[in-house]
């Protein structure tokens, strides 16, 4: 764009020294010099025509608008107390860097430590109940084994007595007594087995109470850990809200921490320019604090709501901050990168004639590209000391501020005529003025 401004400046200076383009007469000094070089001091139609020439360069016709905003942390976190307690120590100050998980402050945890000890003592008592229940189950199982053995013995005795009764060796009464003893042993076995089941249920209940109490102990430990305030993110302290000695209630804020791994800038974009902005689009950001450095950021969010008065839409841009050099509150200048292709840009005064949309106003043509407008420029060709011009048809695009895009017909690096002392034609011999741009 600087080269484009240079071309415009040269053209403006030339316009002061020469009369209007086309068939206008030469300035006095040019006429005198031309007459002195021709026989008889008269102008000849075939003499070299003085011209001003520029070198064609590529550029962008219009500068993209620049928006200003203020740098902010990518995210801000409030560090708050989760329990009641007096603040004993605060280990950081505003501006200090902190790491995720770093202990920043300590609350008085005497009451929390007492609650934890009580919960742990109750847990120990419940574990003793579980141990007793296990012992009782072992005893009940031993009784089951003894009762099973007695039952087997009683059943064997009953069967033997029944056999002896059939042989007539003993009385029926003795056999009935043995049968009764076998039934009694069977009932004792069932009672012992039921006792085992009862003890197992008691054990399961005791184990359930242990599990519940373990949760109470874990909760007490967790609550006690809240007495140590730790940083949830890596960043820097933005604000210190309280001081050691103050009593904090649950929810009271102690510190505010900012994440500066990335920096966020919010700019207000006009609704007329909003169509050129999209999420994920690359942007260039300059900071007045670091004028020699340009940062590349990205559009992360476009607000769905515009300001009803100014019709401005907040657009959020995030830029990397790997060295953590960018702080909060810095003035940022944001320019959105577009897909506009760089083209050859020339002053409109270099055109010798146009066709297509010649009648179109400059204001309308600056808003939309024109691809069918044609024109002619004179390209300078130099062979030794002889300098001639060649008429070249060019296809024109957008125009703005007295300049026009050349879509085809003229290449960057070629010299072209911007003004001439007399009308030119293809093959005319010309003489470059001192204001003409020379190849580097």
* Confidence bin at 339 (pLDDT 50/70/90): low
Q: Are residues 288 and 360 in the same domain?
A: no
Structure tokens, 429 = 């011999």
Final residue of a domain: which of 299, 314, 336?
336
What is the rounded average pLDDT for all residues in the chain? 82
Contact 332, 265 (CB under 8 A): yes
Distance CA 377, CA 396 (A): 11
- Is the pLDDT score of 10 beyond 80? no
What are the backbone angles phi and psi of residue 311, rounded to the nearest 5°?
Answer: 60, 40
Judge whether 314 lies within some domain.
Answer: yes
Judge whether 361 lies within some domain.
Answer: yes
Q: Are residues 102 and 203 in the same domain?
A: no
Q: Are residues 129 and 91 in the same domain?
A: no
pTM of model > 0.85:
no
Q: Are residues 101 and 126 in the same domain?
A: no
Look up the domain containing 117 and give its range. Answer: 111-222
Judge whether 327 lies within some domain.
Answer: yes
Kindly report, residue by residue over 128-166, the tens digit of the pLDDT: 999 988 888 888 888 888 888 887 887 887 777 777 777
Judge whether 330 lies within some domain.
Answer: yes
- Spatial neighbors of 262 by CB under 8 A, at least 6 apart, are 74, 318, 319, 320, 321
Q: Are residues 373 and 421 in the same domain?
A: yes
Mean of the pLDDT values across residues 419-424?
Answer: 88
Strands of 279-372, DSSP E = 282-287, 290-302, 312-320, 331-336, 343-347, 354-355
Q: Are residues 191 and 144 in the same domain?
A: yes
* Confidence bin at 382 (pLDDT 50/70/90): confident
Alpha carbon of residue 338 to chain centroid: 19
Distance CA 58, CA 253 (A): 57
Judge whether 439 lies within some domain.
Answer: no
Contact 10, 69 (CB under 8 A): no
Q: Are residues 156 and 127 in the same domain?
A: yes
- Spatial neighbors of 388 by CB under 8 A, at least 6 apart, are 380, 381, 382, 427, 428, 429, 430
In which residue are the tokens 């004639």 written?
353
Q: Are residues 347 and 320 in the same domain?
A: no
Judge whether 281 lies within some domain.
Answer: yes
Q: Are residues 202 and 275 in the same domain?
A: no
In which residue are the tokens 């053209």 written?
11
- Size (the chain), residues: 440
CATH code of residue 84 = 2.40.50.100
Within 10 angstroms of residue 367's Cβ, the number of other Cβ atoms is 8
Structure tokens, 41 = 């001091």
Q: Are residues 310 and 363 in the same domain?
A: no
Final residue of a domain: which of 336, 351, 367?
336
Judge whether 438 lies within some domain.
Answer: no
Kindly report, residue by residue over 172-196, the tens digit of the pLDDT: 777 777 778 888 888 888 888 888 8
Distance CA 151, CA 189 (A): 7
**DSSP state at residue 39:** G
CATH code of residue 13 = 2.40.420.20
Distance CA 75, CA 9 (A): 47
Number of domains making up the chain? 4
Final residue of a domain: which of 248, 282, 303?
248
* Confidence bin at 322 (pLDDT 50/70/90): confident
Kindly report, residue by residue over 56-102, the tens digit of the pLDDT: 888 877 777 889 999 999 999 999 999 999 999 999 999 999 999 99
Q: Which long-range contacts (CB under 8 A, 24 or more apart) does 99-103 make?
A: 99/231, 99/234, 100/231, 100/232, 100/233, 100/234, 101/230, 101/231, 102/230, 102/231, 103/228, 103/229, 103/230
Judge whether 437 lies within some domain.
Answer: no
pLDDT of residue 29: 39
Q: Which of 321, 300, 320, 303 is nearest to 312 (CA)?
A: 303
pLDDT of residue 46: 52
Q: DSSP letters along 346-376, please?
A: EEGGG-S-EESSTTS-HHHHTTS---SEEEE
């Amino acid at each position: 764009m600087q080269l484009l401004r240079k071309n415009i400046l040269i053209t403006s200076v030339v316009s002061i020294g020469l009369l209007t383009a086309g068939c206008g007469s030469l300035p006095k000094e040019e006429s005198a010099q031309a007459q002195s070089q021709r026989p008889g001091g008269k102008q000849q139609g075939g003499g070299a025509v003085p011209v001003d020439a520029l070198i064609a360069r590529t550029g962008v016709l219009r500068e993209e608008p620049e928006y200003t905003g203020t740098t902010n942390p990518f995210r801000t976190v409030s560090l708050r107390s989760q329990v009641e307690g007096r603040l004993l120590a605060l280990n950081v100050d505003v501006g200090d860097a902190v790491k995720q998980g770093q202990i920043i402050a300590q609350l008085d945890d005497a009451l929390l430590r007492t609650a934890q000890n009580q919960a742990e003592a109750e847990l120990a008592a419940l574990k003793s109940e579980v141990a007793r229940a296990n012992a009782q189950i072992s005893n009940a199982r031993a009784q089951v084994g003894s009762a099973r053995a007695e039952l087997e013995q009683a059943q064997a005795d009953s069967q033997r007595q029944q056999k002896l009764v059939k042989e007539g060796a003993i009385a029926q009464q003795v056999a009935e007594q043995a049968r009764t003893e076998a039934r009694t042993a069977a009932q004792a076995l069932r009672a012992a087995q039921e006792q085992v089941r009862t003890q197992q249920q008691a054990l399961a209940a005791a184990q359930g109470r242990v599990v519940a109490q373990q949760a109470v102990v874990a909760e007490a430990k967790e609550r006690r850990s809240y007495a140590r305030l730790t940083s949830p993110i890596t960043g820097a302290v933005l604000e210190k809200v309280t001081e050691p000695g103050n009593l904090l209630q649950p929810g009271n804020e102690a510190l505010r921490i900012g994440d500066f791994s990335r920096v966020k800038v919010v700019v207000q974009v006009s609704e007329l320019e909003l169509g050129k902005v999209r999420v994920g689009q690359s942007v260039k950001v300059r900071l007045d604090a670091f004028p020699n450095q340009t940062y590349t950021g990205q559009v992360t969010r476009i607000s769905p709501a515009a300001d009803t008065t100014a019709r401005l839409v907040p657009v959020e841009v995030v830029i990397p901050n790997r060295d953590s050099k960018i702080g909060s509150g810095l003035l940022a200048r944001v320019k959105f990168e577009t897909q506009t292709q760089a083209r050859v840009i020339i002053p409109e005064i270099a055109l010798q004639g146009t066709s297509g949309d010649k009648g179109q106003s400059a204001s309308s043509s600056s808003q939309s590209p024109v691809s069918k407008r044609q024109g002619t420029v004179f390209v300078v060709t130099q062979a030794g000391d002889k300098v001639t011009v060649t008429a070249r048809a060019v296809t024109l695009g957008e125009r703005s501020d007295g300049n026009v895009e050349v879509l085809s017909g003229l290449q960057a690096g070629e010299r072209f005529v911007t003004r001439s002392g007399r009308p030119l034609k293809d093959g005319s011999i010309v003489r470059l003025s001192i204001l003409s741009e020379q190849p580097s």
